[in-house]
Amino acid sequence: MVPVLLPEPLIINTSGPIRQVYAKQDFDLLPIYIYSFINNTSYEMSELTDLEPQMSEQTHKTIVIGSGPAGFTAAIYLSRANIPNIVFEGIQPGGQLTITTEVENFPGFPEGIQGPELTMKFREQAERFGSEIITKVVDSVDLSERPYKVQVGEETFLTQSIIIATGSSARWLGLANEDDFHGKGLSACATCDGFFFRDQEIAVVGGGDTALEEAIYLTNFASKVTVIHRRDELRGSKIMAERALANDKIDFAWNKTVKEYVAGENGILNKLILADTQGGDDTELNVTGCFIAIGHTPTTAFLNGQLEADENGYLITKPDSAATDLPGVFAAGDVQDHVFRQAITAAGSGCMAAIECERWLGAEGL
Ligand code: NDP
């Protein structure tokens, strides 16, 4: 038979003795054609318009959703335990590490490492041991029966088990030039970035426990920390409020919100313009750092309430475990942790989830 060269897109399956070839590459990007062969060297091409949604007949052992330290660590452990796994990494791998610049507290990198570079190392390690990494977003899951269904665009993936490692995202103020200041004075993680503000005057925005905890922690480095709160009463717990109020290095800017970030000549934050929520005049606050601590949002919308979560939306896992309330569904990293929220703790819980998943699959004989 004479080989026939087909134009792009690629062929993924054939039907019959090379009479019709269904070519499909990426539903989102390319048209889909049917090649109907007249003989071995010529064909007619027609565009396929009414494609049925794809349901893979294969049932996967495990699907990992999320590609931060938790997701990739889970993938590394699964692959090294010989459990085939797919990682849906979203549009961009890395989760919160992608908006972190220098990571200095992840063991093994004495000189520090850039957040995105650390992510790529996690990813390479998972790939090296055989994890299949797919750069797509999971739209929804159906956990009503096993095998579970994972919906990715038009495709449905069946799986015996799932590790959810979709993380959480820090809430930001949403000011026009906010993105320009990430890594240039603006942060949402005192533990990660506090060290860079030694002997400087900085601000923390928020009045909850996170803001108070971050402000207290930041006094280990900064010469002065101003907590900017939109009301005159703190939301945080009494004990944290008492500690913050008693701390000589902490000032409070009550009834204020940040209206504008202002950069110095070096492009790094050096001033905040504060609006008065009681109608007073705008004021200026000279700071070189600003920590936004107005809460985090766990990424769980795609679960549509099918797993037990707390009042803030964080998934609930069993004590000392990554198991959720459904068999074979595990949660790791910030999506289930509002307390530590560190890359290293996320990686640790990804490891836990993978080991528990492996044991669960074994116990189920899968
Ligand atoms: P919270 O929702 O408790 O507090 C958010 C704070 O940010 C509030 O003071 C809120 O103001 C303020 N805020 C929200 N949106 C804006 C905005 N757009 N502009 C200005 N200010 C804004 O979140 P936390 O992250 O502080 O805490 C979440 C949960 O985690 C809580 O249950 C908390 O107790 C817990 N936690 C526990 C800790 C511990 O036990 N060690 C440590 C950290 C958190 P307002 O008050 O006016 O609504």
The angle formed by the CA atoms of residues 18, 24 and 28, to the nearest 5 degrees, is 170
Name the CA radius of gyration of the chain, rounded.
25
Please report, for the chain, the start and end positions of each structural domain, with discontinuous segments joined by +.
11-51, 56-168+314-363, 171-292
Higher pLDDT, 6 or 222: 222
Number of alpha helices (DSSP H) and beta strands (DSSP E) in the chain: 6, 23
Grade residue 45 by pLDDT with cuts at 50, 70 and 90.
low
Grade residue 47 by pLDDT with cuts at 50, 70 and 90.
low
DSSP β-ladder status, 132-134 and 85-88: parallel
Distance, in Å, from the CA atom of 182 to the CA atom of 205, rounded to the nearest integer, reads: 15
CATH assignment of 171-292, given 1.10.287.1080, 3.55.50.30, 3.50.50.60, 3.30.565.10? 3.50.50.60
Task: Please provide the average confidence, as pLDDT, over all residues in the chain.
Answer: 87
Q: Does the CB atom of residue 312 touch ligand 1 within 6 A?
A: yes
Distance, in Å, from the CA atom of 332 to the CA atom of 348, rounded to the nearest integer, reads: 8
Look up 193 and say whether it is catalytic.
yes
Determine the residue type at 12.
I
DSSP lists the bridge partners of residue 151 as 140, 156
pLDDT at 348 over 90: yes
Grade residue 43 by pLDDT with cuts at 50, 70 and 90.
low
Residue 292: φ, ψ to 5°:
-90, 120
Q: Do 56-168+314-363 and 171-292 fold alike per CATH?
A: yes
DSSP lists the bridge partners of residue 149 as 142, 158
Look up 357 and say whether it is catalytic.
no
Look up 189 and say whether it is catalytic.
yes
The number of beta carbons lying within 10 Å of the beta carbon of residue 39 is 8
DSSP β-ladder status, 296-298 and 289-292: unpaired
Distance, in Å, from the CA atom of 224 to the CA atom of 202, rounded to the nearest integer, reads: 6
| Mean pLDDT of all residues in 338-342 | 88
Q: Does the CB atom of residue 230 touch ligand 1 within 6 A?
A: yes
Q: Which two tokens stand for residue 47?
A: 């565009």
Q: Does the CB atom of residue 300 touch ligand 1 within 6 A?
A: no
Least confident of 40-49, 103-112, 201-210, 296-305: 40-49
| Fold for the domain defined by 56-168+314-363 | FAD/NAD(P)-binding domain (3.50.50)
Distance, in Å, from the CA atom of 268 to the CA atom of 29, rounded to the nearest integer, reads: 39
Check: CB of residue 158 under 8 Å from CB of residue 59. Answer: yes
Return the pLDDT at 54: 61
Distance, in Å, from the CA atom of 187 to the CA atom of 78, rounded to the nearest integer, reads: 33
**Is the peptide bond prior to 9 cis by the omega test (within 30 degrees of 0)?**
yes
Return the pLDDT at 346: 97
pLDDT at 39 over 70: no
Residue 196: φ, ψ to 5°:
-75, -5
Check: CB of residue 102 under 8 Å from CB of residue 201. Answer: no
pLDDT at 17 over 50: no
Ligand 1: centre distance to CA 235 (Å):
7
Ligand 1: centre distance to CA 36 (Å):
61
- CA nearest ligand 1 atom 16, residue: 294
The set of residues, in sequence order, having a beta carbon less than 8 Å from that of 246 and lying 6+ positions away, is none
pLDDT at 18 over 50: no
Per residue in 124-166, pLDDT (tens digit) is 999 999 999 999 999 999 999 999 999 999 999 999 999 999 9
